[in-house]
Amino acid sequence: MKLAWPIELVSTGVCLPDRVVLNDHLAETVDTSDEWIVQRTGISQRRWSAEGQSTLALATDASREALKAADATPQDLDAIVVATITPEHPLPATATLLQAELGCGWIPAYDMAAACSGFVWALLNACQHVVCGMAERVLVVGAECLTTITDMQDRATCILFGDAAGAVVLRKTDDPDKGILAARWGADGDRGRLIMIPAGGSKHPASHTTIDERMHYMKMAGREVYKFAVTQMEEVIRETCADAGVSIDDVKLIVPHQSNLRIIESACKRAGLSMERVLVNIDRYGNTSAASVPVALHEALQSGRCAPGDLVLLVAFGAGLTWGSALLRI
Ligand code: UT7
């Protein structure tokens, strides 16, 4: 849909765990190889959290960096939204714990569970608070400790995921050259079980059986998700630009969810985009779900791949199945 939201991305921050895990390390425990992983996914390495470095710890570090870069204090924030599928605890929302950790005061703080689309959805949600006048400055975080839900015996998934957090401070702006021009979001629940964690919810509460059967780990029908991802990503890129009335050629940089290099390349090729205009960092971090887009956005801004005045398109898809996009004039 076409939008004219007067929102400015003030700053970004990230937290990437120190531990770098190479493909060869995974090949020591499951039947895989560096060659297979690089060819099929584009991933060479990923980061894994240290013992005790939980989602909240990652989110806190990324948020502090974003606040510092915004020259803002925690008290300047009016709300916090955290996108995650690996919350600190099932209850309460990780965002509330982050609020306390940062020392923000009693501002609203809640989580968004839309998997890899989570950060884009959280961003759109946060923007609505600003547009409605319920907040002026909001912290939006995507944070994941995916290693806690990854089955390290399943070669089809354990090669893909990593841990990370990315944060953004956004606020209302009077600058007519900045803002969100268009966005898309949606979900197809019929395909909801293509990526799932079977146990730990009300259907299969934790029990000895659920643990013995490894039901607390993420299961994924990779091929089906792959096909959905390529077509949906291409469509969402086209539709979002059309909604805004801009040509795809006007977009300076696409910042896609980093799921698989082949997915990104195929979708962008179909949309008529050359890879020079696409931010790719999956080779270094793997798939970090809700953290993927904010980490990539941070890198894009830090490296000068996009600058004030540019059109930047965020696009993501994931479990649900969900998708989301946001076209920003930064
Ligand atoms: O974040 C959003 C959600 N997730 C995604 O977007 C992920 C989408 N899916 C994918 O990225 C890809 O489907 C995967 C990377 C997960 C798998 O790649 P693929 O090219 O679709 O492989 P496949 O599942 O069709 O499997 C091909 C073969 C199979 O062997 P057979 O049956 O042909 O003998 C698999 O058992 O590759 C085998 N295989 C592996 N071989 C070596 C699967 N995983 C591995 C592995 N190492 N790690």
Please give the pLDDT value at position 128.
97
What is the identity of the amino acid at 98?
L
Residues in the chain where the model's pLDDT stays below 70 = none
Estimate the crossing angle of helix 292-302 against helix 118-132, to 10 degrees.
Answer: 80
Contact 127, 97 (CB under 8 A): no
Question: What value does the CA radius of gyration of the chain take, rounded to a whole number of Å?
Answer: 19
Residue nearest (by alpha carbon) to ligand 1 atom 2: 318
| Domains in the chain: ranges and CATH | 2-172 (3.40.47.10), 179-329 (3.40.47.10)
The string of pLDDT tens digits covering residues 82-93 is: 999 999 999 999
What distance in angstroms lies between residue 156's CA and the mean position of ligand 1's atoms?
Answer: 5
Residue nearest (by alpha carbon) to ligand 1 atom 16: 222
* Whole-number Å distance between alpha carbons of 74 and 139: 9
Please give the pLDDT value at position 94.
98
Classify burial at 105, counting beta carbons within 10 Å of its beta carbon; exposed 0-12, middle 13-18, buried 19 or more.
Answer: exposed
What is the identity of the amino acid at 312?
V
Contact 4, 55 (CB under 8 A): no
Contact 17, 49 (CB under 8 A): yes
Tell which phi-psi region holds residue 195, choosing left (phi > 0), alpha (psi between -120 and 50) or beta.
beta
Task: Please tell me the pTM assigned to this model.
Answer: 0.97
Ligand 1 atom at minimum distance from 159 CA: 48
Residue nearest (by alpha carbon) to ligand 1 atom 4: 259
Indicate whether residue 222 lines ligand 1 (CB < 6 A): yes
Half-sphere exposure in the Cβ direction for 202 (13 Å, CA): 0
The string of pLDDT tens digits covering residues 6-21 is: 999 999 999 999 999 9
Q: What is the mean pLDDT of the chain?
A: 97
Identified catalytic residue from 125, 145, 241, 257: 257
Which 3 state secondary structure label does DSSP give 217? coil
